[in-house]
Amino acid sequence: MAGDRLRIICGPTGAGKSAVALDLCETYDAAIVSADSRQIYRDFDIGTAKPTGEERARVTHYGVDVARPDERFSAARWASEADEWVACASKMGKEAVIVGGTGLYIKALVDPLFSAPAVDPLQRAELASELETKSLTELRRWCEGLDPARAHLGRTQLVRAIETALLSGSRISALHAEHKAATAIEAQDEKAAYLVVDPGSGLGSRIETRVDRMLEAGWADEVRELKRSVPPDAPAWKASGYSVMREHVEGRLDLSSARQRIIIETRQYAKRQRTWLRHQLPPAAVTVVNPEDSQARAVVREWWEGAE
């Protein structure tokens, strides 16, 4: 990002981030940049709680419906495009607010991901052919000599560490340490102001209500239609609940059981999001708001104005 302090609204799934963001953006004539790794996929609408046409008419949205269901969309690519979306909003005279619960997207935007040095593609192809014949034990032995700090990792990471060490003369572990030190110079709490939306103990019932609304809105019919055109291994199917709904529409799971499994999976996902937020966000830059609290709107506006 270009040095301005970002406003980021995040929190666990089902917490009420979208409602808070819509109200805020209408009040301050701002735009929403979605940081949701599943809302980027076209046609996967109901199960991702994608903003409705009416909501998009009320507030400008970026980052929704930008990829095919079978397309892989990395965090680095999202961060790069988010920069452009923020710039587009600025040209329209609008502030941009990052809204979503995909932690890796948020981290990639605030703290750009590490990139290994470029290597000669022909040399890399030749080395890759040789490394393919090596066992995991042999790869670890190589890595212990070239980059010992990476020798405990899996096959893909071992190969990358060996390639980088041999072809660039640098250790990935050392490059990671340099990157971390460089990015630490500008603290995250100076780059962004975070509003964490979390209803606390009320999240469980909110998740149940949301799942029921999705089912009532025709989620099963949406999945039946998607199955006709979207390959079963497409990345978009990884969105929470979609694999369970596929089992249901294929007759392998009754609706009641599907509903219960989706609720459980969603609660587990929300728990992981809470853990990520607790450990990854700088406490000094975080404001927490319970959307069910009577003072929630005042807290949100104070956060907005304090991030100037």
Confidence bin at 135 (pLDDT 50/70/90): very high
Fold of 6-112+191-306: Rossmann fold (3.40.50)
Return the pLDDT at 230.
97
- Residue 248, phi then psi, degrees to nearest 5: -65, -50
Return the pLDDT at 121.
81
Name which of 37-51, 63-77, 150-164, 176-190 the model is least confident about: 176-190
Distance CA 198, CA 106 (A): 17
Distance CA 256, CA 216 (A): 13
Give the burial string for 30-50 (b: 16+ CB within 10 Å, else e): bbbbbbbbbbbbbebbbbbbb
Determine the average pLDDT of the residues in 126-155: 91
- Residue 88, phi then psi, degrees to nearest 5: -60, -45
Distance CA 76, CA 36 (A): 14
Distance CA 56, CA 121 (A): 44
**Helix axis angle, 155-168 to 121-132, nearest 10°:** 140
CA-CA-CA-CA dihedral for 69, 63, 18, 288, to nearest 10: 110
- Count, residues in the chain: 308
Confidence bin at 125 (pLDDT 50/70/90): confident
- Domain boundaries of the chain, sorted by first residue: 6-112+191-306, 121-169
Share of the chain above pLDDT 90, in %: 76
Distance CA 126, CA 199 (A): 54
Return the pLDDT at 208.
98
- Is residue 170 over pLDDT 70? yes
Q: What separation in angstroms does the CA of 194 have from each of 9, 28, 75, 191, 272?
A: 6, 17, 19, 10, 18
Q: Are 40 and 63 in contact (CB under 8 A)?
A: yes
Distance CA 169, CA 173 (A): 12
Check: pTM over 0.75? Answer yes or no: yes
Share of the chain above pLDDT 70, in %: 92
CA-CA-CA-CA dihedral for 234, 239, 243, 244, to nearest 10: -170
- Is residue 2 over pLDDT 50? no
Confidence bin at 113 (pLDDT 50/70/90): low
